[in-house]
């Protein structure tokens, strides 16, 4: 890709995207466009927050699986106990003893087990049983085990569940009670999944494929632009059945990480007034041969203002919503893209300095929906990264 850039500089801007630059190509880009290098590096860098969430998510998932697998294995092994035949039995003795598997609590103290001994009869034969449930009844403190033992008394009649083919295997409680290990494993799994899900909106999407048409031949409606500091923001020029304005037949569509579309038409002022963006309603939802209406000429689109005050605020922002199309050498073009004219060719970069300000403070001015959630667009340029054979919108 470096050789391609050196052989034909006109292909560089569309063949290289900021998310797929190799180290060599990035160095070359820095030499040509030093002002853009920081933004390209930002897009290539994995943020500490994203990295931390990824590590936390993977660790939590691994720990959750490590706890859940043996827990589910034990439960599946005793899944049929609930259907074991039941017979009458009599309790012979009860006791609280130290658990002898050499395991201890976190503070180094031993665990305590409630032990029972009971007799039951199956098909005329007596059997001796000791198990209460699928697992031993263990307690962190002896006093807790002794309190649990008070439920049982020698001579007490019991209901005993035995294995249908091995009567010597019996329990008093055929269903395993909920254990801290099961709860902990589920919490870790849910936490791990949540951490990985949170990464999604923080991670730039996969880079678009390289251009299939040389930049010089890329019509405006074929181009796709990504913001260099946050590639989740995408911009495109869109042609419909009606000219957007006298300044340009194209509408500008900006797609944001919150899955919202913002639409604009272009307006040009005489002299040094430059190019401005006027928010409009979705032209795709407008009747054929009808231009979409501007967003709330009466000012009702503002989040905190209405009436004459809102109209004044809207007009103020309109004048400030500047649009700068730039060529691959960062020279400002005099016109927005045109259909059949040498004026306003397809820009290599787009600069909209006030767009982030409105998306953060007054998004209702842009979509006509008061109370819309704010969005954070970093300062920077939109860059032409792809050229489609067919329009995407």
For 2-14, the pLDDT digits (tens) are 343 333 333 333 3
Q: How confident is the model at residue 1 (pLDDT cuts 50, 70, 90)?
A: very low
pTM for the predicted model, two decimal places: 0.45
Rounded to whole angstroms, how far apart are CA atoms 281 and 375? 19
pLDDT at 92: 92
Mapped onto helix, strand or coil, the DSSP state of residue 268 is strand
pLDDT at 229: 93
Q: How confident is the model at residue 108 (pLDDT cuts 50, 70, 90)?
A: low
The closest alpha carbon to 134, from 73, 185, 180, belongs to 73
pLDDT at 9: 38
Rounded to whole angstroms, how far apart are CA atoms 233 and 257? 6
Q: With a cut of 60, say whether residue 335 has pLDDT above it.
A: yes
pLDDT, averaged across the chain = 74
Mapped onto helix, strand or coil, the DSSP state of residue 86 is strand
Q: Which residue has the tokens 């842009």?
A: 366
pLDDT at 201: 53
Q: Which of 227-241, 300-314, 335-349, 370-384 has the lowest mean pLDDT?
A: 300-314
Rounded to whole angstroms, how far apart are CA atoms 323 and 265? 11
- pLDDT tens-place string over residues 313-325: 656 655 578 999 9
Rounded to whole angstroms, how far apart are CA atoms 378 and 363? 15
The closest alpha carbon to 92, from 160, 29, 164, 165, belongs to 160
Residue that wins the pLDDT comparison between 69 and 232: 232
pLDDT at 375: 92
The first and second tokens of residue 154, run together, are 């020698």
pLDDT at 18: 36
pLDDT at 283: 86
Rounded to whole angstroms, how far apart are CA atoms 80 and 320? 73
Rounded to whole angstroms, how far apart are CA atoms 308 and 305? 9
The first and second tokens of residue 27, run together, are 């160095």
The first and second tokens of residue 323, run together, are 């649009």
Rounded to whole angstroms, how far apart are CA atoms 244 and 228? 27
Q: How confident is the model at residue 104 (pLDDT cuts 50, 70, 90)?
A: low
pLDDT at 176: 57
The percent of residues above 90 in pLDDT, for the chain, comes to 23
Rounded to whole angstroms, how far apart are CA atoms 283 and 292? 5
């Amino acid at each position: 890709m470096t050789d391609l850039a050196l052989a034909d500089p006109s292909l560089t801007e569309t063949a290289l995207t900021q998310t797929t630059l190799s180290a060599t190509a990035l160095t070359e880009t820095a030499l040509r466009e030093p002002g853009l290098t920081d933004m390209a590096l930002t897009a290539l860098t994995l943020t500490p927050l994203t990295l931390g969430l990824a590590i936390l998510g993977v660790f939590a998932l691994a720990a959750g699986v490590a706890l859940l697998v043996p827990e589910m294995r034990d439960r599946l092994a005793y899944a049929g106990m609930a259907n074991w035949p039941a017979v009458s039995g009599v309790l012979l003795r009860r006791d609280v003893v130290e658990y002898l598997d050499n395991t201890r609590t976190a503070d180094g103290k031993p665990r305590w087990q409630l032990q029972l001994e009971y007799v039951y009869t199956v098909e005329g034969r007596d059997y001796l049983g000791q198990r209460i449930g699928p697992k031993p009844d263990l307690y962190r403190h002896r006093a807790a085990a002794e309190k649990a033992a008070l439920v049982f008394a020698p001579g007490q009649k019991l209901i005993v569940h035995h294995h249908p083919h091995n009567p010597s295997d019996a329990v008093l409680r055929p269903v395993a009670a909920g254990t801290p290990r099961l709860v902990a494993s589920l919490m870790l799994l849910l936490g791990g999944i949540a951490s990985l899900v949170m990464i999604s909106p923080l991670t730039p999407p996969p880079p678009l494929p390289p251009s299939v048409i040389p930049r010089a031949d890329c019509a405006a409606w074929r181009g796709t632009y990504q913001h260099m500091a946050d590639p989740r923001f995408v911009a495109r020029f869109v042609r419909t059945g009606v000219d957007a304005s006298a300044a340009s037949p194209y509408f500008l569509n900006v797609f944001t990480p919150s899955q919202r579309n913002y639409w604009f038409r272009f307006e040009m002022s005489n002299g040094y007034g430059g190019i401005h963006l006027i928010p409009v309603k979705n032209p795709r939802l407008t009747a054929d041969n009808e231009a979409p209406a501007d967003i709330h000429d009466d000012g009702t689109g503002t989040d905190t203002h209405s009436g004459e005050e809102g109209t004044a605020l809207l007009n103020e922002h309109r004048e400030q919503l500047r649009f700068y199309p730039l060529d691959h050498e960062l020279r400002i073009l005099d016109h927005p893209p045109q259909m059949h004219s040498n004026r306003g060719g397809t820009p290599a970069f787009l600069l909209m300095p006030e767009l982030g300000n409105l998306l953060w403070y007054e998004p209702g001015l842009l979509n006509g929906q008061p109370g819309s959630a704010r969005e954070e667009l970093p300062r920077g340029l939109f860059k032409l990264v792809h050229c489609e054979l067919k329009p995407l919108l």
